Amino acid sequence: MSTPPVKIAPSLLASDFVNLARDVARVEDCGADWLHVDVMDGHFVPNLTIGPPVVKALKKVARRPLDVHIMITNPETYAEQYVKAGADVLTCHLETKPEALGLIRKAGARAGLAVNPETDIAPVKDLLGEVDMVLVMSVHPGFGGQSFMPEVLSKIETLRSWGFEGDVEIDGGIAPDTIGDAAAAGANVFVAGSAIFGSGDWAATIHTMRETAEARLGVGA
């Protein structure tokens, strides 16, 4: 079974919102493959972030795909709006209403399905035909800067054991010292916020993370 290429997706939640366009350009120049955009509604998760107008503004300056993760209770209501705003990949949660997956694809984006740390991965198996990506959360969603939860790596291994050859993304506590184990489990898309934006050298951090992930995935071996 082949694994898709490694993609590093810096989480803009950790960027400087006062200088968002500047940080987007800079992190793209430093090697970002995707730009990860966290949408929180204050209901499904205990925090509020951005809506479609900000995604639309980001689309005007972004040169990389927008990987939009909607941590909201009613994704079926807003899926089309986020795709129209510019989401290239739009991920909703298994814990909400996964019927939004069909709406995401119909609207023209790649569909992702996210699973929280405490959620059983088993129900995802019946939905794999409707998704382009599965996002395994390695922290509890809602806040940045949390510690990596290695116990979720078995979910990634299970996904790959089912023969899923799409993208498997992992989000939460991903850094140079945790990305290797996540890659070894079968993840290929890595969301990192504070590990990149909080580092002194974004390019070096992204380069190190990519090299580590590719080595553990056996890319080029």
Parallel, antiparallel, or unpaired: how do β-strands 189-192 and 167-171 relate?
parallel
Environment class of 25 (CB within 10 Å of its CB; exposed 0-12, middle 13-18, buried 19+): middle
Known catalytic membership, residue 88:
no
Known catalytic membership, residue 38:
yes
Phi, psi for 15 (deg, rounded to 5): -85, 180
What CA–CA distance (Å, rounded) separates 137 from 111? 16
Catalytic residue among 33, 38, 41, 132: 38
Are the C-beta atoms of 96 and 72 separated by less than 8 Å? yes
What is the per-residue burial (b if ≥16 Cβ within 10 Å, else e) of 183-221?
bbbbbbbbbbbbbbbebeebeebbebbbebbbebbeeee
Q: Which residues are catalytic?
A: 38, 171
